[in-house]
A and B are shown apart, each in its own frame.
Chain A
Amino acid sequence: MTQQEVLQEYLLRLADSDMILGQRLSELTGKAPAVEEELAVMNVALDLVGQARNWYEYAAELINDGRDADKLVFLRDAHEYRNLLMVEQPNDDYAVTMARQFFFDVWHYFTLKSLVNASDERVATIAAKAVKEATYHLRRSSEWVKRMGDGTEESHRRIQDAFNLLWRFTGELITPDEVDHAMFKAGIGPDPEQIKQDWFGMVREVAAQATLTVGEEDAWMYMGGKRGEHTEHLGHILAVMQFLPRAYPDATTW
């Protein structure tokens, strides 16, 4: 891969994770457990879709094959998606929704914080905007983890179950592959070692306050999302998300 192809790949990973999590959260429209949660979840989804658009637009300019942000979102199939497996997992119990958000937010926050200093100006610009939003997301999801963990017997059990269920997808957040290494070398992506330390640092700190146990660092992990190998859930998300633009490809007004 050329340097530019690596960057395109990396941008699609950032964009796809934002987009798929935004779409997942949107499924809670009208179904969140409380009206305040509904507002919060929709706002987080909106931030993520907005950030995804910024990454896609940059990726589309580099790819330069006539596809715009919309085409990248609506006309790629599951194996072309580069999102983390964590974000495509179902909303399930609200404790699962919040645990998923928390694991992602910690990764997202430290990644964006590092990307603010990227040698690529456009990346730094988009990250500078996004990191403010991610900070807010993390404040909220870590609060929820603490409330549930240190709450009632039932809330504790449910968030602990969620931690146990999702732990197998956390390895992908902090295990670098050749694209991550190349991006770090190019002065764009974060230092993979640093991300790993920061991620574990914060997850353990919040878990301790929440009286929750986290899994083993060397537990068996599901990987492959960044290479386009997904769990069965992504296809279903895309079926819902892409139906309209695929059925009516020439529609310009919804």
Chain B
Amino acid sequence: MTEHEPSSVDVLIASDRVPANARPELLTEDAIWALLDKVLDPEVPAVSVVELGIVRDLSWDGTHLTIDVTPTYSGCPATELIEELIAEAMRAAGIRDPQINRVLTPAWTTDWITEEGREKLRAFGIAPPEGSASKMSLLGADEVIACPLCGSTHTERLSEFGSTACKALYRCLDCREPFDYFKCI
């Protein structure tokens, strides 16, 4: 990734984004987590980045904010956008120059998607990951995936991959609707 040198114009615009009446020093860490929980995944706008489990850590001393974010997949094209959306949300709350670190380890797993996140995925029409990533076998049988629309377990896989890297394509054999399945990794 090529970074360009911030020009004075960029600095001016960045500082303009911070509301004049903001009092970021009053924000607690919990409040920042709550703000992050409002940042939605741009490709799966049903869940927040916190529910998805990709915000790993944050440190906040009242002035400096550092947030650790991990990508779902090595080539996830939303990685940069998500980092920018998080930074934008923090600036909107009055925090200047939030630092977003991209961490690869430990590698993201669907086990980190919260219970709320799973329910929201289902309500959105995406079947949440089944079982535990650590127990997935290489060439073993597939998990039974329930249709997020009618609940039937009478489903079949159409493709190992779906509309984004993190999903697979399924079809319900009862209600006949195709649906995305959030792959278990």
Contacts and interface: CB of A to CB of B under 8 A. Distances in A.
Contact of B107 (A40, A42, A129): A129
A105 B1 CA distance: 27
Interface in B154-184: 158-165, 169, 183
A47 interface: yes
A68 B4 CA distance: 13
Contacts of A80: none
Interface stretch (A4-12, A49-57, A184-192, A225-233): A49-57
Given A44-B161, A68-B2, A135 B74 contact: no
B104 interface: yes
B162 A39 contact: yes
Q: How large is the interface on B (under 10, 10 to 19, 20 to 34, 35 or more residues)?
A: 20 to 34
A23 B71 CA distance: 22
Given A36-B158, A129-B73, 6 more contacts: A37-B159, A39-B162, A43-B164, A47-B75, A48-B75, A128-B105
A126 B75 contact: no
Given A46-B165, A125-B104, A128-B107, A140 B160 contact: yes
A120 interface: no
Interface secondary structure of B, over-half rule: loop
Interface string A139-175: 1101100000000000000000000000000000000
A135 B136 CA distance: 10
Contact of B74 (A37, A68, A130, A140): A130
Interface in A104-135: 109, 124-126, 128-130, 132-133, 135
Interface of A: 36-37, 39-40, 42-44, 46-51, 53-54, 68-70, 109, 124-126, 128-130, 132-133, 135-136, 138-140, 142-143, 252
B54 to A, nearest CB: 13
A63 to B, nearest CB: 16
Contact of B138 (A46, A51, A124, A139): A139
Given A36-B169, A132-B185, A51 B163 contact: no
Nearest to B105: A125
Contacts of A42: 161
A236 to B, nearest CB: 24
Contact of B161 (A40, A125, A142): A40
Interface string B96-109: 00000000111111
Contacts of B13: none
Contacts of A130: 74
Nearest to B109: A132
B159 to A, nearest CB: 4
Contacts of A46: 73, 75, 77, 165
A37 to B, nearest CB: 8
Nearest to A206: B139
Interface in B62-79: 71, 73-77
A9 to B, nearest CB: 21
B104 A128 contact: yes
